[in-house]
Structure 1
Amino acid sequence: MYTQCPECLTVYKLEAEQLVPACGCLRCGHCDTVFNALGTLSAHLPPEPFTRLAEHALDQAPPLADVAVFRPRRATPEPVEEPLETTSEPAVAEDAGEDFSRLTFTPRFAKPRRRSWRTAAWVAVCMVLVVGLGMQLAWAKRDALIADPTVGPMIETGCAFLGCRLPLVSAPERLRLLARDVEKHPSVNDGLLITASVRNDAAFAQPYPVVTIVLSDADGKHLAMRRFQPEDYVGDASARARGLAAGATTAMVFEVQDPGQKAVAFAFTFD
């Protein structure tokens, strides 16, 4: 705390104990003037430069002290035995006073803080953003997740429960050629009819592949090649949309032009 001599305007720093002996009066160490330190008592100094500290009126009513933190219990007097006297006046009971034995002081910073609606709204927004980010990552990696042997069946089960359809994942390396055959076209003179039986060994449905057929001669020289799109050998649009189911086998029929007697071998590739 700080106070100021009213005569020489010297500012002193003091403690509360220095105000007790003379009820707030001090003697200036510079001009030897006795003054009431409470008139200019201040917890902080004003910004420099300054000349005088703010003065306080000392003739006001005492302020009320209303924040109680402790009050000792009153000592209970020992009972004194008195002779019994006959009197018509009722005995007046002594006021026992208030009991502050269980009074506790709780610091303001220890009181629990109530969460405002802004905090709840912020948490909800963060959760929505995290869920949205997870959905974006799952969509970006959907092919890998569907093809995963552990996660894929779980996703398929959940999608079947919700009534949705998973996108088809292309895995031509999981297609196995079981049988193939070539013969003269029954209605086209210079045409060939090639049939193939293909099975999907993947654990998930995949779209019908792009089939490449290469005809070769006895020396392995390529004589003809053609790429067939799914709509070239699967006429049903709904079947193409469903794709080739997991573990399913399908028969593919292709019509090609006969390159001549030199074509003795043919090969299939799936893309």
Structure 2
Amino acid sequence: MYTQCSHCRAVFRVTMKELTAAQGLLRCGECDTIFDAMKALSTTLPDERLGSGNGRDLLGEARIHNLPLGSLAEGSSSTNPHKTGKHISSNKRTSKSRKFLYLSLFALCLLLLIQLFYSYRTKLLEYPSTRELTQTVCSWLACELDNVRHLDQIKLLSHTVYTHPNTPNVLIINTSIQNNATNPQPYPLLEVSFLNQRSEVVALRRFTPEEYLSKEQQGELMPAKTPKELSLNIEDPGKDAVRFQLRFL
């Protein structure tokens, strides 16, 4: 039996089995048009049905095609178990690929966040609002926190100022400080400034840990929750100085 595309007039040789499987709808192999093969179905070639020389000329320009398996219309795919199985398998592979892609992106984002956290952990520890969370996360990631400074956790417990008994024009400042952080940290830089009655700085001196620690203590960290007694010698700024300030840097 024969049928003809309603769009490009291409002729196809078909069987009833193929038409039944396709529910009468075929896809043209020439122009890709889906057409109703039952409307043009015939047991004779188109020129024989037309019964004229014109018909023979038309057939001479056309070609008779055997119906390929891929020419069944999309709507009839459910009648082809092999094709349906391939379609389901393809969908499963696509779904697995998407899941793998999403998991890969999530892992990369997580790795980036961890790297950023590790790089800025010192800065985060300087702020009370993020310090506790940072310390908790660092305990999970085994971050090194021993050398992180928490200047706001160093407290001045007491201080006294008096003239050096043996050296003229030299003052002695005895002070007690304590590290209230949960971890040891480096000793701070000490800044001593003397002010006049108008709160203007008349003298200023900064002491490094190497200057105010003993040789045995140098290189050590300031222990947590332990008062430390320090002694500083500084040149007497004169009578204009009425009070002094001590800052940790």
The TM tier, using the shorter chain, reads 0.5 to 0.7
Letter in 1 for 2:37: A
- Considering Cα pairs closer than 8 Å and 6+ residues apart, tell me whether 1 or 2 has the greater RCO: 2
Pairing of 1:92-131 with structure 2 (within 5 A): 106=84, 108-111=86-89, 112-114=91-93, 126=105, 129-131=108-110
Q: Structure 1: 5+ residue runs without aligned partners?
A: 6-12, 41-51, 58-68, 71-102
Q: Cα distance, 1:125 vs. partner? A: 5.6
User: RMSD of the alignment, in Å?
Assistant: 4.5
Q: Is the 8 A contact 1:145 1:151 kept in 2?
A: no
Verify: 1:191 aligned to 2:173, yes or no: no
Asked if 1:28 corresponds to 2:7, the answer is no
1:248 aligns with 2:229: no
2-structure distance, mates of 1:145, 1:223: 36
Structure 1's 32 and 224: CA in aligned 2 closer, same or farther, altered over 3 A? closer
Superposition TM-score, scaled by structure 2 size: 0.58
Paired position in structure 2 for 1:211: 190
CA distance in 2, matches of 1:104, 1:143: 62
1:43-66 Cα distance to aligned partner (Å, 9 max, x none): xxxxxxxxx344569xxxxxxxxx
Change (3 A) 1:222 1:131: closer
Partner of 2:219: 238
| Selected match of 1:150 from 110, 127, 132 | 132
Work out the number of aligned pairs and report it. 204
Task: Tell me, yes or no, if the aligned pair for 2:46 and 2:55 is still in contact at 8 Å.
Answer: no
Asked if the contact 1:184/1:193 (under 8 Å) is kept, the reply is yes
Report if aligned partners of 2:158, 2:177 keep a CA contact under 8 Å in 1. yes
Q: Check whether the contact 1:169–1:207 (CA below 8 A) recurs between aligned residues.
A: yes
Q: State percent identity of aligned pairs.
A: 22
- Whether 2:147 is the aligned partner of 1:165: answer no
Q: Contact between 1:215 and 1:266, CA under 8 Å: does it hold in 2? A: yes
1:223, distance to aligned residue in structure 2 (A): 4.1
Given that 2:10 and 2:63 are in contact with CA atoms closer than 8 Å, whether structure 1 keeps it comes out as no
Aligned counterparts of 1:34 and 1:23: Cα–Cα separation in 2: 13
Q: What secondary structure is seen at the aligned counterpart in 1 of 2:206?
A: strand
* Contact 2:183–2:224, Cα closer than 8 Å, also in 1: yes
Which residue identity lines up with residue 238 of structure 1 in the other structure? G
Q: Which of the residues 106, 111, 118 maps onto 1:132?
A: 111
CA distance in 1, matches of 2:226, 2:140: 22
Distance 2:82 2:161 in 1: 99
Give the aligned partner of residue 267 of structure 1: 245
Shift of residue 193 of structure 1?
Answer: 1.9
Structure 2 unaligned segments of length 5 or more: list them.
Answer: 12-32, 67-78
Alignment-mate amino acid for residue 139 of structure 1? Y
Larger of the two Rg values belongs to structure:
1
SS of the residue aligned with 1:22? coil
Counterpart CA distance in 2 for 1:22 and 1:222 is: 115
Residues 1:181 and 2:181 aligned together: no
Q: Distance in 2 between matches of 1:118 and 1:156?
A: 34
| Distance across 2 between alignment mates of 1:200 and 1:53 | 97
Q: Residues 60-71 of structure 1 correspond to what in structure 2 (within 5 A)?
A: 69=79
